[in-house]
Structures are given as structure tokens and as C-alpha cells.
């Protein structure tokens, strides 16, 4: 506002002095116009600067607020960092302890694993040995089955041969039975001996002779001669005291015939007396006692090969 009085002052000064020329006045007026224009420009620039300053102040205020917020965030972040740092240190300590313990556990487990592998290896070897043993037993079992089959077939053939040889004595107290892997040739004493005697009669000798023709062809047979009586006590005199003696003497008489007159090897033959203690039926009648008074010739095939396999 102070610049409004300048032209008046200048005009007044010029009038007072009266020495100022019109041309100079024009120059001064032009200068005044320029100065006034510049003043307007400066006023406009000042207004713009004031706006800029206001904006800058507003920006400064916002930045200050942001700085304050950042400072608060920094404090919060610092607290969180320190808390997480402590948690990290605790976790790291726990991890190191766990790693140490885990190393010990792993070493122990590794040792256990080695022991287990050694046991598994030994078990595998044992299993292989067992498999070999089983295979060997299976082979032995197969051989055993073959030998049993062969034995049964031989025994059946022997039974057939004995049956054919003794066919002429059928119905005279002679019977054949195959049981327990043996062939039982049972001859009632009426076919062989007189009552109370151990001397073989002629019919008995003939029967034994026919049987011997078959037996002499089987050198691998074991022949057991068993004498049996009923339960009636022996009433004779002389060297025979009781049914034990009588049963043994009758068995021995058969052995002598087989050994002396047929050529059978004595090593194949065994004599035994059973008296009345192995009856076929109860001694409750005359007929039953007749059945129990008998001589049994028991034929057993050689089972050495079977016994070797079983052992």
C-alpha cells in the first residue's frame, strides 16, 4: 500500500522543483510502470509462495505425524525383535540340546540296527540250514515211503507164497494174518502136537516143511516162533514143570525142525514161550481154549534201512 503514494510524491516534487523536464517525467513514469508491474509480479509471487509455504507446512505436519508413527512402530518393532530374538536364542539352545541328544539316540539306534542286522543274518543262515534239513527230511520221507511201500508189497507177496504153500492144510487149524508190518502164521496145537506133548507129529512136520520151502528163499526175514497154551495148568511130570516150560519146548521143537532139516539160518530164528498170557480169546470155553493153544510163526521183514532213515 505504501507504493500508491509514490506517483503523487514524485509529481509534487516535480512541481516544486519545476526544473524537471517532461521527457524525464515520461522516463520516470515508465520506470514507475515497470516498478509497479514488478511489484504486482512480486505480490503474485509472494501469494504463490504463501500457498507453497502453506502446502509445505501441511506436508511437514503430515511428515511429522508419519515420523511419530514410524517412531512408535520402530519402538514396537524393537520390542518384537527383542522378544523374537530371545525366543530364537531359546529355540536355538533347545535345538542344540536336541541335536546332541539325537546324536546319542542315533548312535544307539545305529548300534541296535547293526545288532539286528547281525541277528537277521544269522537267522537267514539258520533258515537256510533248516531249509536244507527240511529238504533232506523230505527226501528221507520219500525214501521211507518207498521202503514202506516196498516192504508192504514184499509182505503181501510173502503172504501169498505162504498161503499157497500151506493150502493143503486149510481147515486144519491154520490161519494167516498180516498186522503191524508182520505176517503171523498161526497153527493150532492140534495140528502139531498131542495133548501135553512137545513132539511135533508127522502132519505138523509136513506143514512146517512146506512153510520152510518158502522161508528159505527169504534170507532177510526174521522168524519168531512163539508157543502158547490155554489157562489149564500142566499136569505132566518129568522136565516140564508148567505151561511156561511147555510153551517154550514146543517153540524150540519147531525151531529145530526149521534149522536142522530145511537149511534155514539159525541166526534168523528166535524161540519164545508165552504160556497162557497172550490169549487170542477168553479162556471161557473148550472151543476158545483150543484156539489159544497154538504156535505162532511170526515173519518180520528186514527193516534196517527203515531204521537208518528214522535215526
The verdict on 59 and 174 lying in the same domain is no
Distance CA(40)–CA(32), nearest Å, equals 12
In the chain, how many domains are there?
2
- Paired strand residues for 175: 186
In a domain, 129, yes or no: no
Contact 158, 299 (CB under 8 A): yes
Is residue 131 within a helix (H) or strand (E), and if so which, with residue range? helix 22-165
Residue 33 is predicted with a pLDDT of 84
Residue 53 is predicted with a pLDDT of 81
- CB atoms < 10 A from the CB of 110, how many? 10
Residue 14 is predicted with a pLDDT of 57
Residue 60 is predicted with a pLDDT of 77
Tell whether the model's pLDDT for residue 19 goes beyond 60. Answer: no
Last residue of a domain, which of 35, 70, 105?
A: 70
Last residue of a domain, which of 48, 70, 92?
A: 70
Tell whether the model's pLDDT for residue 15 goes beyond 70. Answer: no
Lookup result for grid cell 518384537: 80
Report which of residues 252 and 237 the model is more confident about.
Answer: 252
In a domain, 237, yes or no: yes
pLDDT in tens, 241-290: 999 999 999 999 999 998 887 778 888 999 999 999 999 999 999 999 99
In a domain, 113, yes or no: no
The verdict on 64 and 196 lying in the same domain is no
In a domain, 245, yes or no: yes
Contact 242, 195 (CB under 8 A): no
In a domain, 83, yes or no: no
First to last CA, the chain: 144
In a domain, 34, yes or no: yes
Distance CA(243)–CA(52), nearest Å, equals 154
pLDDT interval class at 54 (50, 70, 90): confident
In a domain, 218, yes or no: yes
The verdict on 39 and 172 lying in the same domain is no
Report which of residues 127 and 99 the model is more confident about.
Answer: 127
pLDDT in tens, 25-45: 787 888 888 888 888 888 888
Distance CA(311)–CA(97), nearest Å, equals 63
Across the range 45-62, mean pLDDT stands at 82
Least confident of 66-70, 136-140, 203-207, 304-308: 304-308
Q: State the cell numbers at 153.
A: 508189497
pLDDT in tens, 159-188: 999 999 888 887 888 889 988 889 999 999
Range of the domain at 197: 166-310
Residue 237, C-beta contacts closer than 8 angstroms, at least 6 positions apart: none
Distance CA(252)–CA(258), nearest Å, equals 10
In a domain, 104, yes or no: no
- The answer, as to whether pTM is greater than 0.85, is no
In this prediction, what percent of the chain has a pLDDT beyond 70? Answer: 90
The single-letter DSSP state of residue 278 is: S
Last residue of a domain, which of 55, 70, 85?
A: 70
Q: State the cell numbers at 117.
A: 542286522
Distance CA(89)–CA(72), nearest Å, equals 26
Residue 8 is predicted with a pLDDT of 56
Amino acid at each position: 500500500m505504501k507504493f500508491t503514494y509514490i506517483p503523487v510524491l514524485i509529481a509534487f516534487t516535480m512541481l516544486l522543483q519545476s526544473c524537471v523536464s517532461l521527457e524525464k517525467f515520461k522516463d520516470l513514469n515508465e520506470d514507475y510502470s515497470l516498478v509497479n508491474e514488478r511489484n504486482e509480479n512480486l505480490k503474485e509471487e509472494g501469494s504463490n509462495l504463501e500457498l507453497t509455504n502453506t502446502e509445505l507446512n501441511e506436508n511437514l505436519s503430515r511428515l511429522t505425524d508419519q515420523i511419530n508413527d514410524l517412531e512408535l512402530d520402530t519402538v514396537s518393532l524393537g520390542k518384537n525383535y527383542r522378544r523374537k530374538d530371545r525366543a530364537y536364542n531359546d529355540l536355538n539352545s533347545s535345538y542344540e540340546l536336541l541335536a546332541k541328544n539325537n546324536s546319542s539316540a542315533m548312535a544307539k539306534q545305529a548300534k541296535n540296527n547293526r545288532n539286528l542286522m547281525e541277528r537277521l543274518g544269522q537267522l537267514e543262515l539258520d533258515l537256510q540250514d533248516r531249509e536244507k534239513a527240511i529238504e533232506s527230511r523230505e527226501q528221507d520221507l520219500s525214501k521211507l515211503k518207498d521202503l514202506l511201500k516196498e516192504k508192504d508189497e514184499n509182505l503181501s507177496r510173502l503172504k501169498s507164497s505162504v498161503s499157497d504153500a500151506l493150502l493143503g492144510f486149510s481147515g486144519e487149524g491154520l490161519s494167516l494174518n498180516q498186522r503191524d508190518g508182520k505176517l503171523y502164521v498161526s497153527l493150532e496145537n492140534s495140528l502139531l502136537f498131542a495133548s501135553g506133548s512137545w513132539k511135533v507129529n508127522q502132519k505138523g512136520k509136513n506143514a512146517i516143511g512146506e512153510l520152510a520151502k518158502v522161508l528159505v528163499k527169504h534170507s532177510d526175514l526174521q522168524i519168531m516162533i512163539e508157543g502158547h497154551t490155554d489157562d489149564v495148568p500142566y499136569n505132566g511130570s518129568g522136565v516140564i514143570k508148567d505151561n511156561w516150560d511147555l510153551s517154550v519146548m514146543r517153540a524150540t521143537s519147531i525151531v529145530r525142525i526149521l534149522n536142522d532139516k530145511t537149511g534155514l539160518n539159525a541166526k534168523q530164528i528166535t524161540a519164545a514161550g508165552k504160556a497162557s498170557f497172550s490169549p487170542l480169546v477168553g479162556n471161557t470155553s473148550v472151543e476158545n481154549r483150543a484156539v489159544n493153544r497154538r504156535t505162532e510163526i511170526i515173519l518180520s521183514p528186514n527193516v534196517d534201512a527203515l531204521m537208518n532213515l528214522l535215526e
